[in-house]
A and B are shown apart, each in its own frame.
Chain A
Amino acid sequence: MKRALIWLILILGTVVFLYPFLWMVSATFKPEMEIPSFGLLPSSITLASYEQVFAKIPILRSLLNSLVVSISITASVLFFGSMVGYALSRLRFRGREVMVMVILFTMMIPFQLTMIPLYILMVKLHWTDTYLALIVPGMMSGFGILLFRQFFKSVPQALIDAARMDGLSDLQILFRIIWPLSRPVLITVGIITFMNSWNDVLWPLIVIRDQSIMTMPQMVTIFAVSGMAEAQLGVKLAAATLLALPVIIAYAFFQRYFIESLASTGLKG
């Protein structure tokens, strides 16, 4: 009896959380008139909504922009973040403790505070409407550094000493010895960084006005809000589906990593 109740609630929950997505995807294949209904099966399948999205906005270009931006940021955060994390956990140098404090401090600063000056900096550097504005401010992550530092601390000192004996430099030690041991933390930092930058829309909205540089979430937002979609539901939902697709596919394959990464840090995407 109790079992059955638990199952009932859990299944009800699944419907509540998953059905809207299924409905959304099916709505994009329905004729516009049939969208306001519960059913998943359209009377006839049409690609009209997708055709319109592709005709009205350069969505593939924006997908490419998003990939360039998110991959650059993720690569940079992994690369530089692990470098700094290594220095903080494995090397002794002056200012190390101060640096940890500074990083903790910057992580407490809400974006509300730095958003406007940061935008002005982009304007002054003539970076608006360029990839630079999208990528460079995101190239470092205090949170990534601290995760790396935490993880690298657990690498046995003997391993590093042995590598030193063999004459490896610190960078070689980091990338040859430590990286292969650090898969979990690399995946965690990688997923979180990638998702945050993939899903970010506020910053692109601020620094990018040129359609050819827009990221995909920005493009879809402007498409939906500016009236370009002409209040047509199917078209809006098709754009949303295209935007969700890469993440959903990645999630389907790596959901364990997604859940563990996000939960271990408590950060939202």
Chain B
Amino acid sequence: MKPLPVKKSPCLHRFWIMLVLSAGVLLVGCESGSRGKAGHAGLVYWPAANAQEIELAGLAAAEWNAAHPDVPVTVQPIPESQSTEEVLLAAVVGKTTPDVCSNIWPGVVGQFVRAGALVALDSFADFDSVAAARLPEGQREVFQYDDGRLYQMPWKSNPIMMEYNVRRLQEAGFTHPPATYSEFIRAGQALTRDLTGDGQPDQWMLYVDINVKWWLRYFDFYTFYLAASGGQTLIKNRQVTFDNRAAVEVFRFFRRCFELGIFPRASFQGDTFLAGQVATHITGPWNIAHVDKFKPAGFEFDYAPVPLPDSAAGPVVTYGDPKNIAIFATCQNPRAAWEFVKFLISRRQDLALLRIASQLPIRRDLLSDSLYMPYFKEYPKMVRFAEQAPRTRGVDSAPELREVFDAISQEFEACCVLGRRTPEEAVQRAAERARQVLR
């Protein structure tokens, strides 16, 4: 055998290259792991990820920073790709939570508290006087945790109402918005039609997203259920309370609407309400500005409470989609954070919330405070939401809530969209699954 030509120099370069590479990878990883930490002196503030709230937060921070250069606030919007709750829970585990977040959904507050992630706000001496202006009469229990303490500052609510195309309903013979299921269905039957003559309808009453993602049911089943049940939520003391007539009525109503074809069973792109494809839309106050901005000439729209079962009586209670402010336990300077929170809920900031984000601050004197009157004069449609605001509900604070909603959503699909189960059966099954989940 021929001797191999071998250099004597140590030929471990591959080994070293690999080691250096691995070290590089580790470094990059660690660096990206520690990103997002701001300096000790300042505060990190996470607003919701939509453009209006980011703008609002930016303006608020600028104003605050001008007045408090010693505790500068840095705004970091929550990454858009995931739900806020997921991002926050991941941050809790990684101990990378912000100091202040204004997109706290009451449904997860319990989980945060049990993870020791939140500062109890009522530990600040002036809490009661600050909260008094915000907490609606007799609503303290709604916001407090099981231990009787408050970990969230009520910030804003978005009563969900029925947006309607005035002309379209007039064409269907309705001068007032339909208030009951049978009125709603009648209007739907009158205006659902085939405009292009291809045998398929292309104008409907309402577009319901038929995807089964659990949170989509806030804007159809849950909103209609709160109205039908007079404001009863899904769970009480970890007992399922929604296996009742109201839920069955809501299921029957949606099933009938899909069956009649007044709700399309397809998925659409774009805004079906603005395009005139549907006559109604279940939405919140943020949509006023949107529709005003993009509406075609001559487009008239207004808002009304969602319809009720024929047998039920008003006034209508609706889903409030509340979002609150919390201070996280990782905060190095909770006093300063509390001052910042008080700044965020000040009268002037509430006006900015109305003006920039078109969302309703939770405060008692909203319609009577002279500061806000010019705004409501300018945007009369917002008055409808402000009037609805006292009669809203949030969601139950149970860690299993998503699963309960998922169970409902599965049955909603099976019964209402696909028509494979009776409303009674569907509600029964959803309740049964919810009981299993809560056990």
Q: Identify the A interface with B (CB < 8 A).
A: 68, 72, 75-76, 79, 123, 126-133, 135, 158-159, 162-163, 166-169, 171-172, 175-177, 209-214, 222, 226, 228, 230-232
Residues of the B chain whose Cβ atoms lie less than 8 Å from the Cβ of A135: 25, 29
**Least Cβ distance of A52 to chain B in Å?**
12
Residues of the B chain whose Cβ atoms lie less than 8 Å from the Cβ of A131: 25, 28-29, 32
Q: Identify the B interface with A (CB < 8 A).
A: 1, 3-4, 6, 8, 10-12, 14-15, 18, 21-22, 25-26, 28-30, 32-33, 79-82, 86-87, 90, 93-94, 267-270
Report the bound CA distance from A228 to B49 in whole Å: 14
Given contacts A75-B21, A209-B90, A211-B79, whether A132 and B29 have CB atoms under 8 Å apart is yes
- Name B93's closest neighbour in chain A (CB-CB): A123
Q: Report whether A232 and B81 are in contact in the complex, using a CB–CB cutoff of 8 Å.
A: no
Q: Report whether B12 and A76 are in contact in the complex, using a CB–CB cutoff of 8 Å.
A: no
Report the bound CA distance from A209 to B1 in whole Å: 58
Report the bound CA distance from A68 to B25 in whole Å: 9
Report the bound CA distance from A189 to B14 in whole Å: 18
Residues of the A chain whose Cβ atoms lie less than 8 Å from the Cβ of B12: 169, 171-172, 175
**Least Cβ distance of B143 to chain A in Å?**
28
Q: Report whether B269 and A211 are in contact in the complex, using a CB–CB cutoff of 8 Å.
A: no
Lowest 4 CB-CB distances: which A-B pairs, in order? A132-B29, A231-B269, A130-B29, A131-B29
Residues of the B chain whose Cβ atoms lie less than 8 Å from the Cβ of A171: 12, 15
Residues of the A chain whose Cβ atoms lie less than 8 Å from the Cβ of B30: 130, 132
How many contacts between A and B, using CB within 8 angstroms? 90
Given contacts A163-B6, A211-B79, whether A132 and B18 have CB atoms under 8 Å apart is no
Q: Report whether B18 and A176 are in contact in the complex, using a CB–CB cutoff of 8 Å.
A: no
Q: Report whether A166 and B18 are in contact in the complex, using a CB–CB cutoff of 8 Å.
A: no
* 7 cross-chain CB contacts under 8 A: A130-B32, A130-B33, A171-B12, A209-B79, A209-B86, A226-B81, A228-B81
Report the bound CA distance from A76 to B28 in whole Å: 16
Partner of B79, one of A79, A130, A167, A210: A210
Q: Which of A123, A177, A210, A230 has the largest count of B CB atoms less than 10 A from its CB?
A: A210
Report the bound CA distance from A128 to B36 in whole Å: 14
11 new A-B pairs (CB below 8 Å) besides A162-B1, A209-B90, A214-B81? A129-B94, A131-B29, A176-B11, A177-B4, A209-B82, A209-B86, A210-B79, A211-B80, A230-B269, A231-B267, A231-B269
Residues of the B chain whose Cβ atoms lie less than 8 Å from the Cβ of A230: 269-270
Residues of the A chain whose Cβ atoms lie less than 8 Å from the Cβ of B18: 75-76, 79
Residues of the A chain whose Cβ atoms lie less than 8 Å from the Cβ of B26: 132
- Name A123's closest neighbour in chain B (CB-CB): B93
Given contacts A132-B25, A232-B269, whether A213 and B32 have CB atoms under 8 Å apart is yes
Given contacts A176-B11, A222-B81, A226-B81, whether A123 and B94 have CB atoms under 8 Å apart is yes
**Least Cβ distance of B422 to chain A in Å?**
31
**Least Cβ distance of A36 to chain B in Å?**
13
Q: Report whether B33 and A129 are in contact in the complex, using a CB–CB cutoff of 8 Å.
A: yes
- Name B6's closest neighbour in chain A (CB-CB): A166
Report the bound CA distance from A103 to B18 in whole Å: 23
**Least Cβ distance of B35 to chain A in Å?**
9
Report the bound CA distance from A42 to B268 in whole Å: 23
Residues of the A chain whose Cβ atoms lie less than 8 Å from the Cβ of B1: 158-159, 162
Residues of the B chain whose Cβ atoms lie less than 8 Å from the Cβ of A166: 3-4, 6
**Least Cβ distance of A230 to chain B in Å?**
5
Partner of B81, one of A162, A169, A211, A231: A211
Report the bound CA distance from A175 to B10 in whole Å: 12
Q: Report whether A128 and B94 are in contact in the complex, using a CB–CB cutoff of 8 Å.
A: yes
Residues of the A chain whose Cβ atoms lie less than 8 Å from the Cβ of B93: 123, 128
Report the bound CA distance from A126 to B86 in whole Å: 16
- Name A132's closest neighbour in chain B (CB-CB): B29
